[in-house]
Amino acid sequence: MDFAALNEHLGGVLKSESFRDNTRLIVPAAQLDDLMSHLKHHLGFDMLSDVTCCDYLEYPGATDRYGVIYVVVNTKTRERLVVKTFVNDPSPTLPSMYRHWKTADWTEREVYDLFGIHFAGHPNLQRILCPPEFESHALRKDYPLKGRGERHNFPVITRAES
Partner 1 sequence: MPVVASSLHPATSRNAAGGPASSHAEAANSEYLWTLNFGPQHPATHTTLRLVLTLDGEKVVKAEPDIGYLHSGFEKLGESLDFNQYVTIVDRMNYISPLANEIAWHHTVEKLLGIEITPRCTYLRTILAELMRLHDHLLCVGAVALDLGAFTAFLYFFQQRELIYDIVEYASGQRFHTSYTRVGGVLFDVNNLWADKVRSFAKNFPKIHSEVDRLLTKNRIFVDRVKGVGVLSREDAINMGCTGPIARASGVVRDLRKDEPYLAYADLDFKIAASKNGDCYARYLVRMQEMLESIKIINQAIENIPAGPVNVELEGKSVLPSKPAVYRSIEGLIHHFEMIMPNRGFKVPVEELYACTESPNGELGFYIVADGEPRAYRARCRPPSFIHFATFQHLMPGYMLSDVPAILGSLNIIAAELDR
CA angle, 99 then 105 then 69, to 5°? 85
**Interacting positions 24-43 with partner 1 (CB under 8 A):** none
The reply on whether position 105 binds partner 1 by CB under 8 A is yes
- Exactly one of 27, 32, 39, 71 binds partner 1 (CB under 8 A); that residue is 71
- Exactly one of 11, 60, 149, 155 binds partner 1 (CB under 8 A); that residue is 60
What's the first-to-final CA gap in the chain, in angstroms? 55
Number of H helices, E strands in the chain: 4, 7
Beta bridge partners of 72: 48, 81
Among the listed ranges 28-36, 86-94, 122-130, 153-161, the one in contact with partner 1 (CB under 8 A) is: 122-130
Question: 11, 27, 16: which is closest to 87 by C-alpha?
Answer: 27
Residues that bind partner 1 (CB under 8 A): 19-20, 22, 46-50, 52, 54-55, 58-61, 69, 71, 75, 78, 80, 82, 101-103, 105-107, 110, 114, 127-131, 138-139, 145
